[in-house]
Amino acid sequence: MNTSKKEFGNESVSKQDGSVVVRIIIGIALKGHDMKRYTYEAVIERQSDGYVVHFPQLKDAFTSGDTREEALHNAAEVLALIVGSSIDEGAPLPRPEHVVECVNVSIALTEEDIESMRFITLAQAAESLEVTSGRITQLITAGRLEDRYFGGVRMVSIASVNRFKESPRKAGRPRKEQLIVEAQR
């Protein structure tokens, strides 16, 4: 890179649970030219072993650091390398613009909502077990599958479907003699 001077800086824009959108500002002065400033948004995420920074507008541009400050410093260096290389090669740079927004998304769930997430429809159970919906009804009646109504819709527990999948089964209908023998046990 034919640069004679680089300046780095950053400013936080917004936060959400350990993620911070940061505008990384670099100034690059090419030999014989005035300093030109480049600003790109970066997302910094806290992780268990440090921080990771990536630039949404610059594909494959990311870095990390043990501390937030180290990660931001490394991000500015990565940005300077990318911008400087692009300038040297005459490659176009993405236009710096606001592309990242962090928002809080909240949901409210009742206990019934949470419980219903453990159930699927009869049609989904039939598809999962590769049988008909009528067969699912038979399995519910026989006590092999657990069912429950949510909002007037009959549902089957995912756990009971998985248990049934794992249970050994023989193809075809059981013989009448087998049923009598099993009933006598």
Specify the domain boundaries for CATH 1.10.10 within the chain: 111-184
Instruction: Tell me the C-alpha distance between 116 and 2, whole Å.
Output: 62
- The token pair at 69 is 């400050």
DSSP states along 80-129:
HHHHHHHHHHTPPPPPP--------------HHHHHHTTEEEHHHHHHHH
pTM as predicted? 0.46
pLDDT tens-place string over residues 174-184: 555 544 545 55
> What CATH class does 3-89 carry?
alpha beta
User: What is the maximal distance between C-alpha atoms in the chain?
Assistant: 99
Specify the domain boundaries for CATH 3.30.160 within the chain: 3-89
Low-confidence ranges of the chain (pLDDT < 50): 1-8, 11-19, 178-179, 181
Residue 98: per-residue pLDDT? 75
Q: What fold is seen in the domain 111-184?
A: Arc Repressor Mutant, subunit A (1.10.10)
Q: What is the distance of C-alpha 133 from the center of its chain?
A: 33
